A and B are shown apart, each in its own frame.
Chain A
């Protein structure tokens, strides 16, 4: 393409068309531009247009097109053609900087972006004069130009903030420092001087402050990797000026906007960042300046207003102080009583005040308010920063700080008492202050775990918290109510039980409060109180103590779900679940009404599930209703099926993905409640459960396996007779699961149930294939988890089919396979098996191999007999794993292990551990002794001789113990 007027004209027309809203016009134009962008001069035509076009819209359009062109084509990828010819590259680099600098801001930004893309590839080697070209512009005195240069430099240098140290990078930085650091410093000084000469010229100041912000950002980038010699030598200049900028104020720069941060705030924020960078990384060199910054920053805090636009600056500044005051060698900066008092009075207290913005959030955006206040997502808020500063100061000055604040708390409470309806915010601040002062460590699970001993929490509770909650109206002073409830919640471990018991009815009545925050907090507090542990691993608050409140509790909880804004309130639903779990059989009389309300809720939310936690607790509550009721009356299962199946069918038919795993879990629970043969309603569903589409979703796998296990337990014979053609599909599921490292244990659960429950003849033809599959996994990608499951399975198989059958099937797959598995897998790995039932299965299986498998006695396998026995004794004598307690009440949903993305296990749908060996063998050690005795009777002399030749002494001693306990001797 020639650089001709005709081509410029053509290009203009096409560019114009790319702006057309009609795709029929726009698309072909875009296509055309794409087709010519490989031609020489194309980028130069664009640059000409963006400079000289008569129409502004074409200028802008050309600049955007140019930037995108550079973005797509500038990088030279190895083995791919160079997409921009060399003369164009040279011409672009020669012209772009002056062009960028002389363009209006809108175009300047595009070109600046383009320069940084080019710079990323070409700078410094292939663009050696870029730096000098930029630096020369500093002298221009035109701050429009200077800001263009600074912005470009910022986009070129900001990568120094995240790249790794390397020779290449540091060579570049050194080059930049050599060329740039001094001019930047001079520019910095000159700009500051200009700020004072133009102190009365608002528009000049704005430009100058934009420069200062960019300069401060460049400072951050250039100082990030290490402290450059130049900046160490010139620390005085930079830090003195930064320091004075922090203290500077100019009415002309103040903005009217309350929300958006102005230039002054942005600059000061960046300076705080710069100071924090030096304090973190270059403490040694920065030490002489640090005290000045501490003073400046707290003065800044004292003089900064409450408006939202200052929030980031204020919280940055407070966090800076908080991080400094914790360090031992800066302790002295804060030690003075006057200093402490002034920080407390002028920095902490004002930033803890409840502001208009907080009030608005409390009323109109309660979800956000709760998230910030309760769940700690308040990292950038002023209150959080102030709280962190209190904690930081308490590290060294707990006594004095507590003393100072006690005075404040008292005076604020007095203010409140004078006129509550006007001064309620004073009490809010007092409560917040007490809370932040008293809490030293906190977890979601336990509330406050470490408290300041200098604060009397119970006294404050009785005198100032309870009276608010006892007031006749639950809707008066909602903020104070929420504060009071939160106080109970977080100090639940510090306040004595009798006070908690007094609070429970108060909390229950606040479930009716109109304010979303208040009834949410009430539900949350109840839920937390119900999970507290008393002595003997029971709940602190017992069902008996709750007896008088059962009805009102349940009524108010369900009523809370009807309050505006709370129809899917997860805190309320969680409190329902926890109440069921605590109250147990005392809820039975209310179940008919409860289950109706829950199924209605389920039906409603399944149209559009949006609150995962709410849904989870709702299903937990359903499970609890089933378990509690059926425990007392097993026949009630039918009425639950009647109430639930209609909704479940709808969920499955509509493929409500979020709910399907839950539905499977509830169905499993229901099916397991049945004592007799599997109902036909379940069998009709069976083929659908084997559909691959269900198994492709990881969240479905555990509950589906669980459900298929329930099918096998209750209906193995029905499956064998009525659905034999589905057995390959069932095994296909097993194969699918076994292929996955994450899900192989699920595959084994399924396989174990198949082997245990299916009639042997129905799976005969598949047995060999099953083992081949397992051996393949073992060979190709063996993991500890797989081996553990594998060992349990083969021993279960041995128990079910006999040791000889195990040996025969192994050896039929490959000669001597049995010996190899014994030697390479069972003997060395058996001690890894964990879990009481699993160990028992392995013990009984191995006993069978030792005593009921003739080839172990009279083939080459004999040499493995004693090592196997030794391994078994090792398994016995390992310390037992702790079993999972039956009482799962305390399990927190968030705490349950397994980080499946989509699967949420229902704690209350859990099944009891199943022991396939059961009563057949009570004591595996005795069982071993007896089996050995039997073996030795069959072939006298052999067993003792095998023992004496190679069993080690310790194992022999254990074995003799077993024989004695079983009162048998070996012949």
Chain B
């Protein structure tokens, strides 16, 4: 096919090329079919090809010298042979005909090769010097050149011919009418073109018209030109034995270039200096990964001891499912709450959503954010080893002896003493344990029989009773009552005659010296009439309101408390037998809350707001000051042994002091929820109780050991409830039965309760 197209073309280089193609084709393959095809085409195009070849014989010669067959001398024989072979293969008769021109051609070529090259060249040049002049102006009659012809508008001529003579314009210019007439009459008008250069009209020939038409259509001017001819692979992938040109190599191609040398030396220098690095070989992905842990050594770097691996991301729960159980979805309130909350406060960083099928699940919009935050955490977040407390909460509870083993102690409410109409501020049990006295805000003091809860006696004292205290001496039967600014001594006559008599005797003691009375602020007076009938025997008038009364263990001395910030007269000690009063303190050391006598030794306990002072009454000095570590002491009780003190305070605490140990509390008991109002020790059993505004009485077991090395053992054994909280007040006072493990409590609900 290639050959055929080559034949069709009339230009010289293609003709030359054709030969080359032919040769290569022949050498390349001896495939019958192809060759046959070639020959068929050859046969078809033979006449044209033959003519052309005959005509352009010289051309082909020229092409030979253009270097296309520079190695022709070597291969001439082969070529011939192959040609012959080729033709032999052909069975057509025409092929024989076609042989002749070819052979002549080849012979000529042979001659040329034999003959001198240079001579032939010269000849050629002489022959057709201008034949292939590529100048556009084939027909130059006017020599003015390519100028606008209107420059010659005013002249009679329009230029000069080759001989330098003027070319004159046609004598008569055509006007519009002429033009029109011409158009109507002249059948060749449409193919007439006006040549401005010569001023003449030219009638185009048929060929020219056709050429114009073809050009207008965008076709090639040459009819015979096949624009779709197969391309000639001049430079094919096959290695040819002959070079493309026959031109001998230049001298310069044998001499090393100076410029290049300079360049190379520069590069060499740059490489030597390390400015240029050799081209990096691209990483082969296959070789990039290998068994990194092949030689696994167990030597761990020292650094890894301090290494804290980052915690893993917590695994998702049911809420995160695309189809969670319905209980995990937010209700409207929860959703509103979630939206209100700050992002850091939210329990879940997303809102659980339910999708009915997998295809409806959209992309999670914060996915990249979350990944990024994880990255930040990994490299920015300071890490710290935190010991997580993994304790069984049961282990934290201290091991205490069982309350069962510490019996007896009061466990149940057995009796309720009703009768008062106001809150019962204070109660006291007679030393025999048979009677109970209570003082209430309704202005009465009542005496109850403990066992039957019967009210034996009611004494109207005419004022809210702040405190009642039964004389601890079993041989007398007296009760001290504090109300307003008076302390009354009552003889309830609820005992044997002997006892009553002895108490009468005690009361009948005459005032020793009126002078002291006059000097003191206290007025002692006997009662008369109605009051005497009720059993009130003595009236001790104080200058200020009395809050508390406390007996000495012997039953002769009585202390009364008049809390007052500004005065040093806060505590008074009265001697009943001699009707004498004295103020033991000269200085005001704070607001006195309550006082108590030491059960055996001549000590006097004074509780102020923050501390408890212990005075030695014999030496008349302070021996100790206990720091209660609480804001406001409300009550105080002294252990029957005298070495321990408990203090209740309004800030819900009960502090146990061991006087031998320290001035700080040995133990702080925060059992109550509200202010502690009362505290009491049992006289014989190792029990103590505290009463509080939360309506409960807590009974604790507090064993005191004689061994100094052993600390007291404190175990809460029972929480007793029964009192009703009224006006935010619960239990106001608590006291133990002198012999039995029973506890009495009086409350704001106007009742007194006995727990046994």
Are A and B genuine complex partners?
no
Which residues of A approach B to under 8 Å, CB–CB?
none
Which residues of B approach A to under 8 Å, CB–CB?
none
